[in-house]
Structure 1
């Protein structure tokens, strides 16, 4: 008997090819294979092999990378859905009868997840000796073989990549960085996350902060580079938004001052005739900060209130908004520029290069 041999009473038509080659004890039992038969087939010289506790490869020889990833998720998952392991008929999902199997309470994370997300700088998947798998803290699992168990009090919503449950990029980065002592490797990973458009810097720093990794000097150094990279990319998105949506040219990166008075603050773009300003919010929480704390907004709020008392309209945008909805942001700016004709003239301010 091998993975091509029909198992009864439940057929394997709803499973993908790799899912037919990697099955748990419970799945085999649901397909009519007794525990004794499973042990017999997995003996030395038999047609099967036990790869992880309770997880069997229905062939001999080394597993493929896809089989390893699937096996790790089966080992860590409570009970994979869509496999009829519990005797419940599978229901075709939005992707049809071969929709990706879901793995409750388990997802690939760390370097393996980054490879699945399309990162180029992590080691190639076939070279990884360990595959990190994220599970709830309450799960009683141990790391064994190629499966390294990472626990968390709150699982993020997984992404489905190649039919596998995979941690979102910020969480996968944090789990990878936790295992890496090399500053250059950490810096390359964080830089690729932003340059490749995988996620925003703030989301990465938030995960690193929650993982308490910002006390490590080499991580802090990499984060500084990440934020500088993210700032440059956000500024480029802002330039592109103004150009592509036909907005009038502003003056870029300026400081405002009252004549003979105090410094009012720096702005990323300013239209002097209309007294309209755009300010990018590229802040990211650091260790000890609370993202929901009002203090994080205090500096921005004070500056905005002061400028608006002087008759200057401030449009506040984030890198994520510029990436996901540039047309909407351009409309907001255009509306502010058009509305300037109906406002009282602003106070006279001095515009200086920043």
Structure 2
């Protein structure tokens, strides 16, 4: 039997299914199919085993009989969990390994290879985990990131949701290192998210966080060395402590030019949400050093990765500006 899916042609009629282009994803809910004029009998006929359509999840159909792609399975998971209403934020987000796969992580299997897709939903939502979909309930959904047209949890939240299901620190650390190294997020955002998720009482997560801090520091130091050498800056004293004549210890800096009283400090965090303002404790530290006659430049690994030349220019400008002033009276100590 053949059907042309045509509804009556008056203006109020639903669009026929053939209106959907081949380029569109062909994952639809029962409600959407009815809006296209598909009666229940036809849906039952086409969705039965061996038919041209397949039911991926309760109330969600794929309009072809081939193996569903990873994106189609993820879209079906979102439609099953909570279809977004017009003009509102999505009521469900892909998270965990599936979200990281969509974000492009190499340390998780491809989306199509995942047996399970985790989806974040609000506590009040009715659906339950079923089939390949596991629902994770939360008090407040994070702001979504849209990848391939799908609502996805941001990297820190997706990684924290996955870390809670893992047991090996090496795996969690590899995920965290990739997140920071490839610029998906800052280390502090990951630490904040695993803290919020109450994962820091788990030894494998603590080990991963400690490893992340060490790796992040090593990456930032490597970028700082590269900046000095590639941009022909004067060689500084590396990793030294500073002490006042009265014996008061000021702390350590990552690079120091004693003739110019210019210091560079690597900070774990980048700018705040506005993209420019420093974090309060970093600003207090900078102002304290400058009050003692030391020009303190604070940079993060993120800024160094983004524009090494710009950071080198800032250092060169500070060195040139110091020519007309006396060096600060401090003692330089090996770190």
1:46-88: CA deviations, max 9, x gaps?
A: 4333221220122346433232122112222323779xxxxxx
Q: Where does structure 1 lack aligned partners over 5 or more consecutive residues?
A: 83-101, 285-295
Residues 14 and 242 of structure 1: CA distance in aligned 2, closer, same or farther (over 3 Å) = farther
Q: Once the 2 structures are TM-superposed, how far is the Cα of residue 165 of structure 1 from its aligned partner?
A: 2.6
Corresponding residue to 1:162 among 126, 141, 148: 148
Q: Once the 2 structures are TM-superposed, how far is the Cα of residue 306 of structure 1 from its aligned partner?
A: 4.1
Residues 18 and 73 of structure 1: CA distance in aligned 2, closer, same or farther (over 3 Å) = farther
Alignment of 1:337 with 2:323, yes or no, is no
Residues 31 and 353 of structure 1: CA distance in aligned 2, closer, same or farther (over 3 Å) = same
Q: Once the 2 structures are TM-superposed, how far is the Cα of residue 6 of structure 1 from its aligned partner?
A: 6.1
Alpha-carbon distance in 2 for matches of 1:198, 1:215:
25
Matches within 5 A, 1:151-300: 151-259=137-245, 261-282=247-268, 298=281, 300=282
Alpha-carbon distance in 2 for matches of 1:140, 1:35:
24
Equivalence for 1:140: 126
Residues 7 and 110 of structure 1: CA distance in aligned 2, closer, same or farther (over 3 Å) = farther
Q: Once the 2 structures are TM-superposed, how far is the Cα of residue 320 of structure 1 from its aligned partner?
A: 2.2
**SS state of the match for residue 19, structure 1?**
coil
Alpha-carbon distance in 2 for matches of 1:210, 1:7:
52
Q: Once the 2 structures are TM-superposed, how far is the Cα of residue 13 of structure 1 from its aligned partner?
A: 5.4
Equivalence for 1:43: 48
Alpha-carbon distance in 2 for matches of 1:14, 1:232:
52
Equivalence for 2:99: 113
Residues 327 and 59 of structure 1: CA distance in aligned 2, closer, same or farther (over 3 Å) = same
Alignment of 1:30 with 2:35, yes or no, is yes
Residues 334 and 31 of structure 1: CA distance in aligned 2, closer, same or farther (over 3 Å) = same
Equivalence for 1:353: 334
Q: Once the 2 structures are TM-superposed, how far is the Cα of residue 310 of structure 1 from its aligned partner?
A: 2.2
Give the number of equivalent residue pairs. Answer: 320
- The answer to whether the Cα contact below 8 Å between 2:70 and 2:113 also exists between their aligned partners in 1 is no
Alpha-carbon distance in 1 for matches of 2:160, 2:239:
33
Alpha-carbon distance in 1 for matches of 2:201, 2:24:
42
Q: Which shows bigger deviation, 177-186 or 327-336?
A: 327-336
**SS state of the match for residue 265, structure 1?**
strand
Q: Once the 2 structures are TM-superposed, how far is the Cα of residue 263 of structure 1 from its aligned partner?
A: 2.3
Q: What is the TM-score with the length of structure 2 in the denominator?
A: 0.83
Root-mean-square deviation over aligned CA pairs: 3.0
- The answer to whether the Cα contact below 8 Å between 1:78 and 1:103 also exists between their aligned partners in 2 is no
1:121-149: CA deviations, max 9, x gaps?
A: 22343442210112333433211111111
Corresponding residue to 2:25 among 19, 22, 28: 19
- The answer to whether the Cα contact below 8 Å between 2:28 and 2:62 also exists between their aligned partners in 1 is yes
Residues 235 and 138 of structure 1: CA distance in aligned 2, closer, same or farther (over 3 Å) = farther
Alpha-carbon distance in 1 for matches of 2:285, 2:154:
35
Q: What is the TM-score with the length of structure 1 in the denominator?
A: 0.79
Q: Once the 2 structures are TM-superposed, how far is the Cα of residue 193 of structure 1 from its aligned partner?
A: 2.1
Q: Once the 2 structures are TM-superposed, how far is the Cα of residue 223 of structure 1 from its aligned partner?
A: 0.4
Matches within 5 A, 1:68-147: 68-79=73-84, 104-147=90-133
Equivalence for 1:90: none
Alpha-carbon distance in 1 for matches of 2:245, 2:152:
56
- The answer to whether the Cα contact below 8 Å between 1:113 and 1:167 also exists between their aligned partners in 2 is yes
